[in-house]
Every structure is written in structure tokens, then in C-alpha cells.
Structure 1
Amino acid sequence: MLIIIMLGIKFWLKPTINNFGEDSVRTPSIINWTVVGEYSLILVALIIVLYVLKILRWWSKQETITRHHWYSQLLIIGKIYRQYSYYYLSFNLSLLLKSGLDLKQICSFLNEFDKQSLLYQLGQQLRELLDAGSMPDELVKKYPFIPPELKLFLNKGETLENISNELAVYSEVSYRKLLKLIDKLIELVQPILFIVIAIIIVGTYLTILLPIYQTLGGLY
């Protein structure tokens, strides 16, 4: 609604006000600040577009696992994404272990996934660690979006069924924490949006009233 109002002011109301004040006496100005402001906005928008294109070009060359690593380090959103990853990975690992697969068999199973998927690339790195005789802990330490509790579950020496059940409980707890984080984010975003909307409304009123005052000043 605000966008529609602003477009109406830009393309209908402001031209009407400007036409009404064309015959009024105005104090000549050496600098047209409106033109300066418009060109400044165009320059800033051009810089932002070029910067975004540069980021997108770099982004397209990154592996999926690198992108997810970057997601997990974002301010505010990163915490929510990590919690979502904890739920997502623990839930899927619980299902795979419950079906009777061990870690090497899980790697073989994930090898059938799309090469651009997160699970496929995690499976590849896990296979490399297992082939080198390393523990899966190294993978947990390397990526912040992998639940740190995972190394505790895998090092307890319990049966696959017990580990699967524990991971299922952990995934449920992670899901509840995820919902709480989303609720907190909504509570944070709502007042910010209200402030932004209030600023836009005040700016809209000023856009209408200032030209009118200038026109009246020119008439008198």
C-alpha cells in the first residue's frame, strides 16, 4: 500500500503541484538540489548493483558446503540457520542409522544424491576422513552447522539403534529450539518494521507538504 501511495505521489500528485506553482514567483537557486539528490541516488544504486553482481559472481563459483558454512556465520540469521541444520542433519542421520546403515554405508548412500546437495558433499568429506583413518569429529569441528553433540553420540560406543533413538530425540529438541529462535526473531523484526513504516509515512507527508509550502511561499 505504501509503495502504491508513493508511486501515486511521484507520478500524479507531484507533477500536479509543480504545474500549479509554475507561474508563482520563485527565488532563483544556483544549485538544483533535487537534481543533485536524484543523481546521487542513481550513483549509489549503481554502486550497489555492481557490488551485488560481484558477490553473485563469486557466489556462483563456491561449493554448496562453503555456502552453508557462510550461512551459519551470518549475523542473527546464522544462529537460526545453525539450529535448523542441527535439526535437519540429526533427523536424517537418525533415519539412516535406524535403517541399519553404518557410516561407510551412509557415505555410499549419500553418493547417489545430487552432487550440488549438502548431504552429498558432506558424505564425500566423511568418506575421505574414514578412508584416512580419522574420526568424524574432525568434520564436526570443521563446520559450525554440524551439531557439536554429534561427536558425543558417535563416540559412546552404543548400538546403531540406540544412537538412532538418541538422535531422534535430539532432532526433536533442536526443532523446538528452532521455533523459539524464529519467534524471537519475529519479536525483533516487528518493531523495526513499524519504525521503518513510520519513517516512510512521515517522508510521504513531507513529500506532499513541502512542495505545497514552497508554492504558497512563491505566491505570497
Structure 2
Amino acid sequence: MQSNKIRLHDREQFLTRLAVLMKEGYLLPVALSLLLPMHTQKLELALSGIAGILKSGGNAAEILKFLGFNDHVLFPIEIAEYHGRLPESIDSIAKSFARTEQVQKKLKNILIYPVSLLIFTSILFLFFRTSYVPNLTEMMKSLQSGSEESGVPAYLLSLPDFFIALFVSFAFSIYVFRLVLKRQVIQKQITWLLAIPILRRFMKLYWSHLLARELGTLLHSGISMQESLDLLQRQNYHKIIQYMANLSHEELLMGQSFSMSLERFSFISKDMAAFIRHGEQTGYLGKEMILYSEVLMERIEQQTQQLLRIIQPSFFIIIAICIVGAYLAILMPMYNLVHTI
């Protein structure tokens, strides 16, 4: 369907408006035809593509995939078509979009000043190494007596270059890691992600949040546990949730409760099994799982904010190290020269 040719702008607003129109009773094709002129410059291509998907029996997830949305959006959309709460799911996705964009905007604002300062420092130090340091070294050699050497340690002026190269290498390593990770089986993907200390905590919360939100919504809609897990197994947009649902379904077939099956998982939040057990006892498992998913999202947001508060001071510490290194590179040789005179 050449989804890469469709570029929607203001995606969060698009999803919010789509949810509002559908709650007001508009059918999905009609709502899309009203919204697309405001969100894409390739209206005819978008409308013809959507019409082709509908004629071939496609669903809402396929339409949104054609419009360029990724699997994290398509996963809850596909599940929503089973429990019949598509407008509510789209509205929830729009709110998640807003949270993500807010975090990305804050991260950008946090990084833009220190990163720019680090790059400017690197350029300034390059000027020192190429223009100032050679002249200073020649002057010191002419003033020195004997075979003593007290040249300028120019490697200290290369600290900004070192840190920039380190960051570039780190970014490239993450890119390669993601490419290799996608080619692994699900079990190995989980093992690799949980082996990273900082990422381990976020992934457990995120997977638990997704499972609780989608499974809780299905149960709250009146669908049985086995049928809900079967639906999660048959979706193809989130392989890890598919794997978790498969394991839980096998445990249920062996006579185990859902909460007991979760106790065997090392890749979910620690208190999830206890929370699910309480829902099973009260008879409001679906509703309580939805509530638990919201609690997990709040935890993810809190830990993300804590991580963001560390990033900017770390960059300023790196810049401070570079400046101190520059002072040492210039002042130490002069200090040694004074003692030789």
C-alpha cells in the first residue's frame, strides 16, 4: 500500500479528533475523509489507498498502518476491534501520543543547550590545537635550557572530541543492537533487553502495562479469559505480548489460574501477580487490570522524569571536565617553565 508515501502531521491531534468524531457516531471512513484534508498534503493518494483497503475487507489497523502509524499504535487498534471500543482506544492512544511527545520535547529542550555547548567547545579547542598550541610550544622550547621537555599536553584539548566520538559510537551501537535484536527469537529478545540494567526496569513496566491494558479491556467487555488470551496470541503487531499470552494460555489449559501463571514470568512487574490475584478474588479482574495499567503508566512517567533530570547535569559535568583539561594543558607547561627560569 506504499504507506511510506503518506505523511500525517499533528498525529496526536489527528487521533484525538478521530476519537471525538467516532464517539459522535461518525463511521471510520467518513471520519477519515473529514480529517485527512487537515493532516496530509497527499489527500487523493490517502483516500484512494483507504478505499482500496476497505474494498479488500481491511480493518482499522490496516488503514492506520497505511497512514504511517507504527505497531505500538496498531496493536491496541486491532484488539479494540474485538471488544468494540475503538473510539475509546483511539482516544487512549492519542493521550499516549501526547505523553510521548511531551517527553521528547522535554528531552530535546534539555539536550539542545549542553550538546550545542559541547560542540562549540570542541570547535574552540580545535582552534587552540591548530593555532595557539604550536606557537606556545615553539616559544617554550626557545626559552628552555637543556634537554628538559615541558610541551603543551595537547591530548587534554582533545577531550571534547573524545566525548563526542563516544556519544556517536554509543548511538551507532544502539542502532546496530536494535537491528540485531529484531532478528532474534522472542525469548532471546526478552533476555537481551532484561540484561541491560537501566532498560530492564522500564521494559518490565512497559510490558506489564500493555498486557494489563489490553487484556483488562477485553475482559471488561465481557470476553472470557481464554478467548482474550487467544486474541492476544493471534495478533501480529506485538510479538512479546503474543508470547506472554501464549505462555499464560498454556498454563490455563493445565488448570492454573492467570495470577499463578504470571508468577512464573521474570519479565513482568513484581506486584502484577498479586494485583491480578486480588482482581480474581473480587470478580472485577478486567476493571482492576485497566486501573493497574494506569498505575504502571504513572510509574513509567515518574522514572522517565527522574532519568531526564540526570541527563543535563551529566552533560555539564562533561563540559566542565573539558574546560579544566584545557586550563591544565595551558597552565601546567607555563608553571614548569617558570621553575626552569
Q: TM range, normalised to the smaller chain?
A: 0.5 to 0.7
Which residue of structure 1 aligns with residue 248 of structure 2?
126
Return 5+ residue gaps in structure 1 as ranges: none
Structure 1 residues 192 and 106, CA, compared in 2 at 3 Å: closer, same or farther?
same
* Aligned counterparts of 1:176 and 1:116: Cα–Cα separation in 2: 22
* Aligned counterparts of 2:137 and 2:200: Cα–Cα separation in 1: 54
CA drift at 1:169: 2.0
1:82 equivalenced with 2:198 (yes/no): no
Which residue of structure 1 aligns with residue 7 of structure 2?
none
Which residue of structure 1 aligns with residue 118 of structure 2?
2
Which residue of structure 1 aligns with residue 55 of structure 2?
none
Question: Is the contact made by 2:194 and 2:200 (CA closer than 8 Å) also made in structure 1?
Answer: yes
Structure 1 residues 72 and 112, CA, compared in 2 at 3 Å: closer, same or farther?
same
Which residue of structure 1 aligns with residue 273 of structure 2?
148
* Aligned counterparts of 2:273 and 2:311: Cα–Cα separation in 1: 29
- Pick from 214, 218, 225 the counterpart of residue 103 of structure 1: 225
Identity %: 19
- Pick from 9, 12, 16 the counterpart of residue 131 of structure 2: 16
Per the normalisation by structure 1, the TM-score is 0.65
* Aligned counterparts of 2:299 and 2:140: Cα–Cα separation in 1: 65
Q: Which amino acid aligns with 2:254?
A: A
CA drift at 1:196: 3.1
Q: Deviations over 1:149-189 (max 9, x none)?
A: 3540464272xxx2211122222223333333333344455
Q: Deviations over 1:170-213 (max 9, x none)?
A: 22223333333333344455544443332233224444x25873
Q: Which amino acid aligns with 2:334?
A: Y
Per the normalisation by structure 2, the TM-score is 0.46
Aligned length: 199
* Aligned counterparts of 1:181 and 1:190: Cα–Cα separation in 2: 16
Which residue of structure 2 aligns with residue 93 of structure 1?
215
CA drift at 1:129: 2.2
Question: Is the contact made by 2:276 and 2:289 (CA closer than 8 Å) also made in structure 1?
Answer: no
* Aligned counterparts of 2:130 and 2:337: Cα–Cα separation in 1: 16
Judging by fraction of residues, say which structure has more helix.
2
Question: Is the contact made by 2:208 and 2:293 (CA closer than 8 Å) also made in structure 1?
Answer: yes
Q: Which amino acid aligns with 2:239?
A: S
Question: Is the contact made by 2:207 and 2:268 (CA closer than 8 Å) also made in structure 1?
Answer: yes
- 2:281 aligned counterpart, secondary structure: coil
